[in-house]
Structure 1
Amino acid sequence: MIVLNGNEEPQKQDSYNGLTIRAPERVARRRRSWSPLPDYEASEAQYRRSLALEHKKMWHQTKVWRAVLFLLLAYALLTTVIGVPIIKMKHEDADDSSWSVNAVMGSQQPSPSGVVTLGNNMACNMWNHTNTVNSSLPYQTTLQLELPAMGDISIRSNATLDSTQSSNVTGNLTVDYDANLKSNNAQISVTMWTSTHTLQKTTLVCSADVGPNRGLSIFFPSYMSEMETIFMDIRVVLPKSVPPSSLISNFNVYLPVFAQTFRDLNAVNFNSVTIEGTVLPINVAGIRAPRISVKNMLGDISGTFNVSESLCVDTIKGSINTTITLVKPTSRPTPTTLTIDNGDREINAHVSLVSAYKTSSSPHFVGKVTTFNAPANLTVNYYPSTPPLPVYFSLQNNLARSKVVMDQKFQGTYLAQTKLAPATIHQGIENPKYNPAGSNKPRTLRADPGSSTSRSSGWIGWGKKPPNDEQSHVQVTSSLGPVDLEFGPT
């Protein structure tokens, strides 16, 4: 054994001055997981990425909507600045035509069927007699009143087709004229029968001497059971008019679920007459006024009318049978107008034209007849003393036959047109005495080139056709129904 001295250190026998290579330290590794879900770091990264994408998408959508809003505002501005003047110019150009219906048809008077309100100046249920009768409607009441036959007179009710059933409420209105009345007042009588005493008390029959509701106003209960019934009979007798003090300015009748009968009232001076109903017929023996409007919905309209400004006859599912006299006063520059409108029932209208005018280049009478699914017949003749003045008449149908007859004084252009049915033009036997030139030559009918079995247009008159629209015009058109246009005796 060799023992070293304490002063001696162990010495390396060899040395290496170059680079040494040391193995890297072992890094602790994450335990491998077999879960399908991402780890925390991956989940955080994915979440931040989705936030960024969503923020970018929202910014893009906001930008798109801003662009859309800007385009809409720009479109509205351009439409206001450019489009409206163009449309207005076109509309004015279209209305420049002397045969434009809208240019010559005057506006019709407003409907009296506004809300009927209970005014403070009304006296209600001032019955003259109240008794009980042995019938299904045992409770009977009677009211009689007088009203000066001048100014505005209204006979209206709050009934409507929606809220008032005809099985609950029905009635009759009769308006008559009596030349033997010694008073200048209109005589109004009302008789009401009700099924219950409560119904008698809750039905208000009111009258007013002044104001917008001057006349008779009837307020039926808002609710009635199926067993409750009201029947009402209203009679109005008008005295002979002595103009101008006894002129009835506006005679307004609005009575749904009432049958309305107007006897011969030609001796009464009206300025305006407006009549409205719903389901029951309206019959007029004779009314003369500058303006007349008769409207119904499901009931028929028949009558004789004489107007000097405008006449409107309108229903939907009721027939129209009228005899009409249109008068053109020399003091009125605008034409006298006629409007007849129906939907699903026939129209028969006979029109006579009366005027003291000698010559004119604008239409003196304008008539428009419209229906949809029923036959329509229009006959127009000049009164013997009326010269062949310019007129405009049109009849429009869709599914049924249409016929227009113009008398021997008519001269002007014509159009008969349909799509899937024949259009027929017929010229009757001519009478040379109607020639305005005084010669014995009859009228000449000249068809335009290109006329076919479903469309025919042309001119009829004496001499040569004028170069502009100085004469009359008549047209009858339909979609599926045949049309007939006849020139000759009426």
Structure 2
Amino acid sequence: MILLEVVEAERRKVAASRVDGDDVLNQRHPDVLQVPSPPGPSLPDYATSQAQAEQQHQDIDTPLKQQKQQRRLGKIIVYALAIYFILSISIAVPLFLTLHKHASDEPLYSQAWVKAGDGISPPPAPNQLPPDLSELPLVYGTAIECNNWTYVNNSSLSDSAYSLQYLIPSNETIYLRSNFTEMEDNIISPVTGSLRVSVANSTSQTDATISVLMKDIGEEALKEANVCLMRTESGWGLAIYVPDDANEGNYYFDVELSLPQPSGSPQLTSLATYFPSFNQTFESLDSYTNLESFTVQGSLGNILVESVHAQSILVKTSAANITGTFNASSKVILESIIAPIAASVSLYNEGNNSQPPTFLNVETGNSEIALNVTLYSNTNGTPGCPPMFMSSLKTFSAPLEAAYRHDAALQSSLLYVRAVNSLQPAQVFVDGTFEGSYDVHTTLSDAFVDQTMNLVDPTGAGRPRTYVDDYISTNRMYGWVGWGPRPVSGYGPFPQQGHVEVVSSLSAAVLQLTNAPDPSFSVTRSSKPVFTQSYPSG
């Protein structure tokens, strides 16, 4: 019985242990496997390796970013230093040069004052010089003296004024100019004035005198305007400068140049003026026979020249008249844009192989041209080499009239003339000394050649006046005119004969081959007979 109880107890324990084991299996608790470690150093798992790799990458990137930032900062510092260095040079160097120039020029002002002034008043302070004297157009040289004004309170004047005067030699070149322009296309310059050039009557005057009178319009205007005596390598000049942004307006300058009577040698070689808004008047300068160049430029002011002799003459303006008597041995150029030109011109040519032709160029736009031209030459010129003259005339919408005559001592010449108009008639006269071809044509009007037989051979040989018409139509006529038979070489501009061309687009073109210009000759169809006669050779 005892043995059975023992066996039963053992059977119950086994059954109980099985029940407990099944419960544990049903709960599915994960088992932690213990993997035996290999011998040697152990490797981290995947998560640990990934974390370590990211940490190492961050450790590498950090110094690279720091290096890039340091390099960028270094470049910025270098650029800043370079800009600072450039700005320092651009500011310091001009400042140094300006101060150095003023310091070196101060003795020059005092010396020049003794030569140009009366020696009583002290020289002007350097700060009276224009701050931007380089803006004066085409002015070269050194400013000797500026703004030595004297106040003039004259009851005879409509306004009070400031005046100054300079004495300069007259045996070099003289120029008078300003920076006056039209400030904008539709705004006229507020600076006007007048210029008068003359020759003194008294023989006691030995230097040229430049006098300037400036209308008093306030102290601020006096400070802004600068009138300076200039010295160049070849002569003396006067420069007037008013800033474009001047606060004051309505400046008026009265400038006068008085030349002494020429005596001995050397004499004045060149005279040039540039006053865009001035009326410019030149009294007779015939006593100055050695002028190499005479140049007058303007814009809104009339230009009047009583008489001048020079090798080269240039007169240009924009919207004002050109009137005068001009005598030149090299060239005469008269130009305007919308203003009339009326001139008496004398052209000289030596008539030898060494001298080029003497030129005349006259051009304007919307106004008339009226010219009287006389041709001169040295009677002792090279035989077989007649003097040569070339002339070009052009306008647009106003009558063009020109007359060419030879001096009585000039028996032949090579005269080339081209006169062109667009909307109005073009009319040219040449005297009986002329020989050569002609071409008169128009586009939408009539062409005329006025001829006469009542002429005398200038050589005294009694040759007949010959006219040869090569082509005649309503709007074109060309041919040849001369003394005796026509040269064998045919019509056209011959090597030893001249040529005249008269052109108009919408109006008549007229050539007069007569004794004198005929004012009764109409630019419409003339009722006068036109002589056309050819003389056979022999």
Name the TM-score, length of structure 2 as normaliser: 0.65
Displacement of 1:467 in angstroms is 3.3
- Tell me, yes or no, if structure 1 residue 261 matches structure 2 residue 285: no
Q: How does 1:49-60 map to 2 (within 5 A)?
A: none
SS at match of 1:432: coil
Correspondence list, 1:120-269, <5 A: 120-127=142-149, 129-131=150-152, 140-162=161-183, 166=188, 168-211=190-233, 214-225=236-247, 228-242=249-263, 244-246=265-267, 248-269=268-289
Q: Which residue number corresponds to residue 430 of structure 2?
A: 406
More helix by share: 2
| Residue 361 to residue 478, structure 1, CA distance change in 2 (3 Å) | farther
Match of 2:446 among 415, 422, 428: 422
Letter in 2 for 1:222: D
Separation (CA, whole Å) in 2 of partners of 1:132 and 1:466: 74
Distance 1:368 1:140, change over 3 A: same
- Residue of structure 2 equivalent to 1:481: 507
User: What letter is aligned with 1:185?
Assistant: D
Distance 1:382 1:220 in 2: 48
Structure 1 residue 306 displacement after superposition: 0.6
Spell out structure 1 runs of 4+ moving beyond 6 A.
Answer: 133-137
In structure 2, which of residues 303, 319, 339 is the aligned counterpart of residue 298 of structure 1?
319
Q: 2:418 aligns with which of 362, 378, 394?
A: 394
* 2:330 maps to 1:315: no
Given that 1:317 and 1:343 are in contact with CA atoms closer than 8 Å, whether structure 2 keeps it comes out as yes
Structure 1: unaligned runs, 5 residues or longer: 1-112
The range that moved more, 208-217 or 377-386, is 208-217
* 2:461 maps to 1:438: yes
Larger relative contact order, structure 1 or 2 (CA cutoff 8 Å, min sep 6): 1
Alpha-carbon shift at residue 414 of structure 1 (Å): 0.5
Report % sequence identity.
Answer: 29
Q: Which amino acid aligns with 1:191?
A: L
- Rate the CA distance shift 1:118–1:379 in 2: closer, same or farther, 3 A: closer
Separation in 2, partners of 1:336, 1:217: 33
Distance 1:135 1:174 in 2: 20
User: Residues of 2 paired with 1:358 and 1:229: CA distance?
Assistant: 57
> What value does the CA root-mean-square deviation take over the aligned residues?
2.4
CA distance in 2, matches of 1:251, 1:402: 34
Q: How far apart in 2 are the matches of 1:176 and 1:135? A: 23
For the residues of structure 2 that align with 1:318 and 1:198, how far apart are their CA atoms?
36
Map Cα deviations across residues 158-194 of structure 1 (whole Å, 9 max, x no partner).
1112359546211010001124232331111110013
Cα deviations across residues 287-328 of structure 1 (Å, max 9, x unaligned)?
A: 001111000100000000110111000001111000011011
Structure-2 change in CA distance of 1:138 and 1:323 (3 Å): closer
Given that residues 361 and 390 in structure 1 are in contact (C-alpha distance below 8 angstroms), is that contact kept between their aligned partners in structure 2?
no
Count of matched residue pairs: 372
| Cα pair 1:171 1:233 within 8 Å, conserved | yes
Offset, 1:224: 3.6
Query: Counterpart amino acid of 2:461?
Result: G
Whole-angstrom distance in 2 between the partners of 1:230 and 1:379: 42
CA distance in 2, matches of 1:179, 1:234: 19
> What's the counterpart of residue 350 of structure 2?
329
CA distance in 1, matches of 2:465, 2:139: 59
Letter of the 2:214 counterpart: M
Give the whole-Å Cα distance in 2 for the aligned partners of 1:326 and 1:119. 34
TM-score using structure 1 length: 0.71
Q: For 1:455-470, what aligned pairs fall within 5 Å after superposition? A: 455-468=476-489, 469=494, 470=496
Q: Tell me the equivalent position of 1:73.
A: none
Whether the 8 Å contact between 1:147 and 1:209 is mirrored in structure 2 is: no
Match of 1:264, SS? coil
Assess, with a 3 A threshold, how the Cα gap between structure 1 residues 480 and 407 changes in structure 2: closer, same or farther. same
Q: After the TM superposition, which of the residue ranges 236-245 and 257-266 deviates more from structure 2?
A: 236-245
Match of 1:364 in 2: 388
Paired amino acid for 1:403: Q
SS in 1 for 2:472: coil
Unpaired segments of 5 or more residues in structure 2?
Answer: 1-134, 517-538
Give the direction of change, closer, same or farther, for the CA distance of 1:318–1:297 in structure 2 (3 Å limit): same
